[in-house]
Each structure stands twice: as C-alpha cells, then as structure tokens.
C-alpha cells in the first residue's frame, strides 16, 4: 500500500489469513484505493521496517485497466504522456519529491523575507497596461474593454514603496505570451518579486538577495533531510558574498568585447562553466549592464556616476539566470523620458506616475524565477516538470 507517508507491505500467510483476502488482492487492479486494518509487526525485509498482517480489507474504489501510465513501472514515459495523465504521474514518489522541494523553497523564502522586515503583498493580475508592453501580453475581455494578464507586479510594488511600505515581496502567478517552446520557458509561471526603499545602490539589493537565497536553500535542505527526501543531499552549499562579474568581463570571455548584446542561454552556460571552474561556486552575479542592453525596461535606473551603465544585475545559478533586478528610476521627469524613449504613452501610466509626484524614495528590487530555480535544484531537464500542471504555448489541459 502507498500513501503520503510511503509504502507499507501487507503480508498474507496461507493458513492464517482469510482466504477471501487472497482472491480480493489477487484480482484488484493496481492503483485501486483500499483500507486495510491489521496487526503491524517489525520486519527487516520490508522497506519501512514493518509488515501489516490484515484482519479487514475494504475496497474504496477500483482503478480502471489498463492504466494509461505506469506508476511503479521502471520503464519511463515521454513528457507528453506524463502530462496528459498528470494525476497518475504525480503519484510517483520521485515526482512528489520535486513538489516537497518546491514547497520547502517557498516556505524558506517567506521566512527569510519576513525576518528581514519585508511585508508580503498581493497585487492585481488583471491590468489595463502591462509593465513592459509588447507582444508578450495575454489580452482578455474585461466587460466592455480590453485588459491584460500581469507579466509581473513591477509597477504596483514600486507604488507600494511610494506608499511607505518600504520593503515588500510577492509570490504569485505571472503570464507571458511568448511563443517560445524551450525547456526554460512557460506561459504561466510563479514569480517571486521584492522591492526595497531607501537603498544606497545596487549593492544593497545584491547583499539582501544573496542572504535570502542562502537561508532559503539551507532551510530547504534541513526540511527535506528531516523527511528523508532524496533531493536534500543535492542542494548546493555556498557562502556569501557571491562573485560579482561585470558584463564587460563576460563579453570578453565570450570573445566579443564591447559588443553590448544581451546574453543568450548558450552564453550563460559558457560563463557558468568558467565560474564553476575558476571560482568554484554555483551562484554569481553579472553586473554593470550597459543601458543599451537593460534600459528597454523604462523603470530601470541609470548609474549616476556613469550614465552609459545601469545598476542592473542578473543572479545566475550554474549558468542559468534565476533573478534580475536593480535600482529603479525614482525621479518622475526621467521616468517620463524613459517612457517616451521606449515608445510608451505616459497617459496609460498616470496611476503609476502619480506615486512619483508626491515623494518617492530611491528604491530597487528584483524578480526571481521560482520554477527555474526549483527545476535546477532538482536537476530536471525541463522546467515543466517543476509545475504541477504546466502551461506552455500548446498545453491548456489538464
């Protein structure tokens, strides 16, 4: 028998067990639901160290045959088959272990943020205008006018800094209508966003983020280890500070100094391999992005000491971007300039801009990809495996 606690061996002995039990269990299809009462006895041969000798067996529901997907079979199934029959797939202990890891990571993040004075908030997911615009917005009908599913809580978390909340975070769904069909992308994903007021610069953000990440991983390792989850031993052990690698250095490593083009997935893998070899750490920051690379986001702030650079950074884990952030532009005049330069109509952002007219402190924050991080920690080849019921450009069911 298998339940949330594991697998229990039910033992029948001829001559002592009810003969009807042999017939019942011999004919019962796999994955049926049963209730068994009996006498437990210690056993060195069973997986959990105990056998159950039944005195009563009740069939709650019989499973249909054949099963569309094996649960205990050693022969694997392709991802489409697994996702088409996801409930059966989720019964596998190895799959459940992924979501125990995910739950521990989310709990760890919440604990770490609250300990640092952050307030958990919830922002709207139906918007009149996206934070970044473009073709990656999902349009929906909102009564008599169009609306869009939120790509991120970016504008709202900045507004909350203006409201005096000072430190906020949110763990919530986000949506991007990207036509990507890769192992790194989803159309519905979980974003962890944080924003901090009264910062002196990007380094305030980086030191806070790395401390949160390290505490979260430590918490997850302890939580999973106590439960015997096999993924506990694979979680990384790292220390702060994480290396800070300037964007220009990365471009030089890639053999294209001064190119000022954004880093692709293969570029990140090359940089990650070099960091692992030379610095021996899975976590590192890429810093000092040129404005030509990162200022497409109108809310991004320039570095005052060098207007050709932003204070933006990416947090990478083993050659995969898991977070991106930096100081925001907190001056309304410059914010309007950025909107115009990006081709945005400021009239669509008046509710957002109002927060900057009545006193906005210097602030910044980041967005963190929970699904990517969990998939990477669990050693999964495809980010879809880190979601209970994944959504991509082709899948809307189950």
Catalytic residues: 176, 178, 184-185, 321, 324, 372
* Separation of alpha carbons 236 and 3, rounded Å: 29
Whether 342 contacts 298, CB under 8 Å: yes
Whether 294 contacts 300, CB under 8 Å: yes
* Residue that is written with structure tokens 């993924």 in the block: 231
């Amino acid at each position: 028998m298998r339940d949330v606690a594991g697998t229990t061996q039910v033992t029948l002995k001829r001559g002592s067990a009810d003969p009807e039990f042999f017939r019942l269990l011999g004919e019962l299809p796999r994955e049926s639901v049963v209730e068994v009462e009996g006498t437990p006895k210690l056993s060195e041969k069973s997986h959990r160290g105990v056998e159950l000798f039944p005195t009563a067996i009740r069939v709650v529901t019989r499973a249909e045959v054949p099963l569309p997907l094996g649960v205990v079979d050693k022969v694997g199934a392709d991802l489409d088959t697994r996702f088409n029959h996801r409930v059966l797939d989720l019964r596998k202990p190895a799959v459940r272990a992924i979501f125990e890891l995910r739950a521990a990571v989310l709990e760890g993040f919440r604990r770490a943020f609250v300990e640092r004075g952050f307030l958990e908030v919830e922002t709207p997911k139906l918007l009149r205008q996206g934070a970044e615009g473009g073709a990656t917005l999902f349009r929906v009908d909102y009564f008599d006018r169009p609306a869009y599913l939120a790509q991120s809580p970016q504008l709202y978390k900045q507004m909350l800094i203006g409201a005096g909340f000072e430190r906020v975070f949110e763990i919530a769904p986000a949506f991007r209508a990207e036509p990507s069909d890769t192992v790194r992308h989803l159309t519905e994903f979980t974003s962890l966003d944080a924003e901090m007021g009264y910062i002196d610069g990007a380094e305030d953000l980086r030191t806070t983020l790395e401390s949160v990440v390290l505490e979260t991983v430590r918490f997850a390792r302890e939580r999973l280890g106590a439960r015997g989850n096999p993924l506990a031993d694979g979680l990384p052990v790292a220390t702060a500070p994480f290396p800070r690698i300037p964007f220009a250095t990365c471009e030089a490593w890639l053999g294209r100094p001064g190119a000022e083009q954004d880093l692709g997935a293969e570029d990140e893998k090359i940089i990650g391999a070099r960091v692992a070899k030379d610095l021996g750490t899975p976590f590192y920051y890429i810093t000092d992005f040129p404005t030509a690379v990162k200022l497409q986001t109108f809310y991004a702030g320039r570095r005052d000491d060098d207007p050709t650079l932003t204070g933006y950074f990416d947090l990478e884990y083993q050659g995969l971007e898991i977070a991106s952030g930096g100081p925001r532009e907190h001056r309304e005049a410059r914010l309007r300039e950025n909107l115009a330069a990006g081709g945005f109509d400021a009239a669509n952002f008046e509710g957002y801009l109002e927060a900057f007219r009545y006193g906005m402190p210097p602030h910044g924050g980041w967005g963190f990809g929970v699904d990517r991080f969990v998939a990477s920690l669990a050693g999964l080849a495809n980010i879809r495996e880190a979601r209970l019921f994944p959504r991509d450009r082709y899948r809307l069911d189950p």
